[in-house]
A and B are shown apart, each in its own frame.
Chain A
Amino acid sequence: MISRVAESCFWLNRYVERVEVLARMLDVNLAFQLDVALPDAERWRPLVVVNGQEEDFLERTQTAAVDDPETVQDYLTWSEDNPSSIQSSLRAARENARTIRETISLEMWETLNDLWVWLGDRAARRLYDADRHDFYVHLRDRCLLFHGVAQATMLHEDPFEFMRLGTALERSALTARVLDIKYESVGRTEETEETPTGAAQWLATLRFCSGVEPFLKRDDKPLSGRAVAEFLLFDASFPRSVLHNLDRTRNFLVLVRPPTPTSVGERSYAIVCETLEALRAMTIDSVLERGLHDVLTWIVEATARIGGAIHADFFDPRPLGSAAERTTSLREEGSQQQTQSG
């Protein structure tokens, strides 16, 4: 597999993940509006903030448009200027896929391209206007379909592992960001008794991560900010918890690294292990003591460091030493390489 291809695999899934999560957040937020009495600004502004786009948004709209649900939704869904919008992320996902069509399966390409063509079509606009819930559900479902199609049709070797690596890392970061919305909307809370509005917001946070039912299965925990934060950070089995995904990130790194002893991927592996260790040493009490927002910021920054190390280790390798020598050792690894490149 070519390094550039590995990079595209990694980013393809990160972008698909962004589309899915943003679509779900927008959809949940629409429903959430009906449950609680909050000023519009407090409902929609956090979504802009959590996507890291507040400054850009305010600059472009030049008004207090964070109060206007339509403007916010339009900006997060359609804006070509917003690099984090659904439209932009899907374009980036599809563009990455287009450059690795020989690597991904035909079915994966068709799933993604079909969604891209649909989003550019009048029918999607009409659905957005007529039934926004259905619109976001369609996007979300197609992203989920993409993962299923990949799992069922692609060779389970390096390119696939790089894709899953991208998903795991992106999920760690996105879950941390989503959890931060609660912080953004109501500030730091430590009380265990939630007001009705607070409870609704924590429920919405879980729904952003499709985590309500999984959370409820942990039946020893009543709904509280503390319990939700603990679940989203530390649950070992929940597919979107930070810990679970960092653990998977480490596992996929092990899979894509050549058999030991090797220096390939050393830096990435070291940073992931370090981060995991630090996270495992925490408890929900220590997190709340340190400040949830601080810990979440640390997580987001750690995922960025991991991403940077993966880039340096795998996507931008400098040809070092004698290429011929290294190829010999490569050849001994057997058929996996052959299948991909030859």
Chain B
Amino acid sequence: MPKQANFSRIFESYRPLPGAFDECFDADGRVRSEAARVIELLEGLGRKEFRARQRLADSTFLKGGITFSVYSDDRGSERIFPFDLIPRIIPAAEWKRLRSGLEQRIRALNAFLADVYTDQRILEEKIVPRDLVLGAKGYTPQVKGILPPGGIYVHIAGIDLIRGPDGEFVMLEDNARTPSGVSYVIENRMVMKKVFPRVFAQSHVAGVEGYPIQLRQALDSVGPAPDGEGATVVLTPGPYNSAYFEHSFLARRMGVSLVEGRDLFVENDRVYAKTPLGPRRIDVIYRRIDDPFLDPEAFRKDSQLGVPGLIRAYAKGNVALANAVGNGVADDKGIYPFVPDMIRFYLSEEPILGQVPTYVCDRPDDLSYVLEHVGDLVIKAVNEAGGYGMLIGPQASRRERADFRERVRANPRNYIAQPRIELSTCPTWTHKGVGPRRVDLRPYVVTGRDTWVLPGGLTRVALVEGSYVVNSSQGGGSKDTWVIEESWR
């Protein structure tokens, strides 16, 4: 059979990593049924053709200017986000369960934020320790008592999931402030369709292109004047921000203006954009500027990125901000261990998805355990992101461990620790052929009047052999994520 002969070309020497779940092959090296068709179609191309298409994909990203800016380079140079052509596959049934779990989590996080900034019932009832919440860096007393339109705080969430050795997805991290990456999901898909038209035509993959429309609807639905009088805009820190491409992309695909802080001003507690013909009223701002830089009157005085008076307008209900201000208290890594309790408290439901066991260093018992087991644990600073401020104990040097032990001891509130999970792997193209590389998954959840979950999400892959770090700033790349419709199998 010619297909058999082709099969040996790309995946022939592929061996899953012992001890990790592989997304495409089982422990004995057999193709999983949900991936079988795709693997077979890719095999049909052969190695040489596959490589040619990888080059085509890379040049498509470059020519489309689908890039991220590199901070370290003062010329403002841009790089493409490395992209791997072998998709990550999630069967529809499994996705359905994930989606329910994500929706549930967002409902709970929203309820938590609404509670924390008003009655603080959950603190009264001691479900979450008061000191932990009020002492969190993201807790923002300036917005206490301000109820955002519709009571929605988390309009856009990116929730990081990983899959352990048992094949179960668990929640790793919440991003309820300014999660990024969704533009790559959509562009990755566009490139995949261009590069593998035939493979695509024969797989039943759930579409992702609806995201900007869903986002636009959600944003418009939370505006203070639903009659469309004021405009909806995307607020960016500017072209030198690493995620600028995404800000521009989302504005373009939503058909709204992309603005910088200097394009807006506040008068009589209302927000206006400067246009050549005079001021234009703004109702809804999808802001990609972090809280501390949003309004120099309310937060950091030295911020050049923000809009003076914005929080006044927000407090008066004259402008909607997405995400809401103060969400950092909900995605704080120190609060994370309590999310299952929030689900039970606010929703009277059991959590659908599990999460990673977490030691909260603020608790004396946990602290002493962590200090004794630094070499076995992953220790994370609660307010860092991007794979920074993190120690992977089993891979760290003696000096790094000692250093982290000191840091944790000096400021326990600032750290949590988790056992290192053997992240699942996915076959990935490398210069030595296809090899197993670790992946995570960031689905995107959009909430306006309803909640909508983008099918799939961003699969980030640690391209460096043996690495657990999937962040683009540290050698990570991405893959297209295919939620394969039931009917196809």
Interface residues of A (CB under 8 A from B): 1-6, 95, 98-103, 106, 109-110, 113-114, 117, 158, 162, 256, 258, 264-265, 313-315, 317, 319, 322-324, 326-327, 329-331, 333, 337-338, 340-342
Stretch binding the partner chain, chosen from B16-24, B157-165, B267-275: B267-275
**Which residues of chain B are within 8 angstroms of A3 by Cβ–Cβ distance?**
263, 274-276
With A102-B251, A324-B268 as given contacts, are A113 and B273 in contact (CB-CB < 8 Å)? no
Partner of B257 from the list A102, A322, A324 (CB cut-off 8 Å) is A102
Interface string of B61-75 (1 = CB under 8 A from A): 011110000000000
**Which residues of chain B are within 8 angstroms of A315 by Cβ–Cβ distance?**
276
**Which residues of chain A are within 8 angstroms of B231 by Cβ–Cβ distance?**
338, 341-342
**Which residues of chain A are within 8 angstroms of B53 by Cβ–Cβ distance?**
none
**Which residues of chain B are within 8 angstroms of A162 by Cβ–Cβ distance?**
276
Q: Is B357 an interface residue (CB 8 A)?
A: no
Bound: A3/B265 CA distance, A: 13
Partner of A95 from the list B239, B249, B263 (CB cut-off 8 Å) is B239
Q: Is B2 an interface residue (CB 8 A)?
A: no
A119 smallest CB distance to B (angstroms) = 13
A314: nearest chain-B partner, CB-CB = B276
Which B228-263 residues have C-beta < 8 A from chain A?
228-234, 239, 248-249, 251-252, 256-260, 262-263
B232: nearest chain-A partner, CB-CB = A342
B50 smallest CB distance to A (angstroms) = 24
Q: Are B267 and A340 within 8 A (Cβ)?
A: no
**Which residues of chain A are within 8 angstroms of B233 by Cβ–Cβ distance?**
341
Stretch binding the partner chain, chosen from B92-100, B172-180, B278-286: B278-286
**Which residues of chain A are within 8 angstroms of B62 by Cβ–Cβ distance?**
117
**Which residues of chain B are within 8 angstroms of A331 by Cβ–Cβ distance?**
229
Contacts beyond the supplied A101-B248, A323-B272, A330-B278: 19 A-B pairs with Cβ under 8 Å: A2-B274, A98-B239, A100-B258, A101-B65, A101-B252, A101-B258, A102-B248, A102-B257, A110-B63, A113-B63, A256-B276, A315-B276, A323-B265, A326-B279, A329-B278, A341-B231, A341-B275, A342-B228, A342-B231
Number of interface residues of B (CB under 8 A): 37
Bound: A338/B278 CA distance, A: 14
Interface residues of B (CB under 8 A from A): 62-65, 228-234, 239, 248-249, 251-252, 256-260, 262-263, 265, 267-268, 270, 272-281
Partner of A323 from the list B230, B270, B277 (CB cut-off 8 Å) is B270
With A4-B263, A110-B63, A323-B268 as given contacts, are A341 and B256 in contact (CB-CB < 8 Å)? yes
Bound: A152/B350 CA distance, A: 56
What are 22 of the A-B contact pairs (CB < 8 Å)?
Answer: A1-B276, A2-B263, A2-B275, A4-B262, A6-B275, A102-B248, A102-B256, A113-B64, A256-B276, A264-B277, A313-B276, A317-B278, A319-B279, A322-B267, A323-B265, A323-B268, A323-B272, A327-B272, A327-B281, A330-B279, A341-B256, A341-B257
**Which residues of chain B are within 8 angstroms of A313 by Cβ–Cβ distance?**
276
Q: Are B65 and A113 within 8 A (Cβ)?
A: yes
**Which residues of chain B are within 8 angstroms of A102 by Cβ–Cβ distance?**
234, 248, 251-252, 256-258
Partner of B279 from the list A113, A265, A323 (CB cut-off 8 Å) is A323
